[in-house]
Amino acid sequence: MNKFIGMAAAAMMATAAQAEETVVWWDFLGGGDGVRMKQLISDFNEANAGEITIDATTLEWGVPFYTKVQTSVAVGEAPDIMTYHASRIPLAIDQGVLDEITPADWEKMGLGASDFADQIWDAVTGPDGKIYGVPLDTHPIVLYYNRDVLAAAGQLNDDGTPKGMGSREEFTAMLQAVADSGQVKFPLASVTADGNFMFRTIYSLVGQQDGELLTDGEFLVGDNAQKLENALAVLQEWTNAGLQSTYTDYPATVALFTSGEAAMMINGVWEVPTMTDLHADGKLFEWGAVELPVIFDHPATYSDSHVFAIPAGSAQDPAKRDAVLKVMAGILNESLFWATAGHIPANKNVTDTDEYKAMEPNATYSSLTANMIYDPKTPLAGVAGPIFDVMSTYFVPTLNGEMDPAEAVEEIAYELNDM
């Protein structure tokens, strides 16, 4: 009798063990957002114990991650779910490394196009009209500012936001007023030693002129070359006037701002945790973050989105697929916590909540979702893609006053179209 009971118990345990689905997860999230994603994964595993467990691995961001994904799909060893950049989806489709997120998948998740901004939904839509990613967020660049320095220079509005945000002339005058106050080494810190990063700022300024990089398969046609030149010229003007930091890499840019040597900084929303944590520890001044200034015709800000994607050939078993879909929907529905990493949740059901609308500085800059622009849809674009590399070569000397903007644009147009 005891033996029978023992065998029955063992069988029940084996059945329970078989019922639990393990979802293999890859991401590239480090720093503050990596910490928060690990917490979301831990919370999900706890809430779904015995049913689903996420087995997560964090890999190196950029080219190493995407190369590993391509290789893993080719040899049939890809994860069940992974993070991806929306900007890389055209190349991923070309390489055949992503599975479609089908209408049936969306129905099971209880989500659809109406839950996301049009630009975000478009960014995960392939040329075949199929959807290849579940958007988690949008992560644009913003303008960080030191409230104490700007207040002392008389450059704060009554609501605590910077003055001079409405035109090139106004913003340049504001930068000059801060410089004249003698409080800082640079009014504006920018990552001027890294053209890949500066692509974000430059593309934003091109977008403010309704410019585009790619038109019917050709780069910088018509007056688009002039619009790129205009963007480079204004940034070079600030550098030459001593209003913007020169040959500054990413860590040095953050250091200039957090040390108080720069009054403002253009950087991604992913640096919000850095500022939040330093301020909480009493190691940072009063600060804020707002949408980029309107330098040309209207607001426009470069953005990309982290998305969840299913590698081609993965999660085909119905039970595994259902588990993956539950993971994606579960994380999206809890993405208010993800917003503490600075990102703007893609799920409008989250950003429409009173809790999100009270979250600062996110609530202040989240209005920019109406003005987002994404990379052109081409396999040559996207994070760490060929377009970034070509333009970077010419952006750095131009931004630092060592190359004429018109010459830089001519070389960029030639090399891009040569690709």
Structure tokens at 269: 């929303």
- CB contact burial 168-197 (16+ within 10 A = b; e otherwise): beebbebbbbbbebebbebbbbbbbbbbbb
Residue among 81, 94, 87 at smallest CA distance from 54: 81
Structure tokens at 81: 């779910």
Residue 160, Cβ neighbours under 10 Å: how many? 14
141-302+374-418: CATH topology is D-Maltodextrin-Binding Protein; domain 2 (3.40.190)
Output the CATH code of domain 2-139+304-372. Answer: 3.40.190.10
**Residue-range domain boundaries for the chain:** 2-139+304-372, 141-302+374-418
- Under DSSP, is residue 88 helix (H, G, I), strand (E, B) or coil? helix
Provide the residue-wise pLDDT of the chain in tens; the chain has 419 residues. Answer: 444 444 444 444 444 445 799 999 999 998 788 999 999 999 999 999 999 999 999 999 988 999 999 999 999 999 999 999 999 999 999 999 999 999 999 999 999 999 999 999 999 999 999 999 999 999 999 999 999 999 999 999 999 999 999 999 999 999 999 999 999 999 999 999 999 899 999 999 999 999 999 999 899 999 999 999 999 999 999 999 999 999 999 999 999 999 999 999 999 999 999 999 999 999 999 999 999 999 999 999 999 999 999 999 999 999 999 999 999 999 999 999 999 999 999 999 999 999 999 999 999 999 899 999 999 999 999 887 888 888 989 999 999 999 999 999 999 999 999 88
- CB contact burial 250-276 (16+ within 10 A = b; e otherwise): eebbbebbbeebbbbbbbbbbbbbbbb
Terminal-residue alpha carbon distance, the chain: 76
Please report the pLDDT score of residue 18 as a whole number. 58
Judge contact between 324 and 310, C-beta under 8 A: yes
Q: Do domains 2-139+304-372 and 141-302+374-418 have the same CATH topology?
A: yes
Amino acid at 185: K
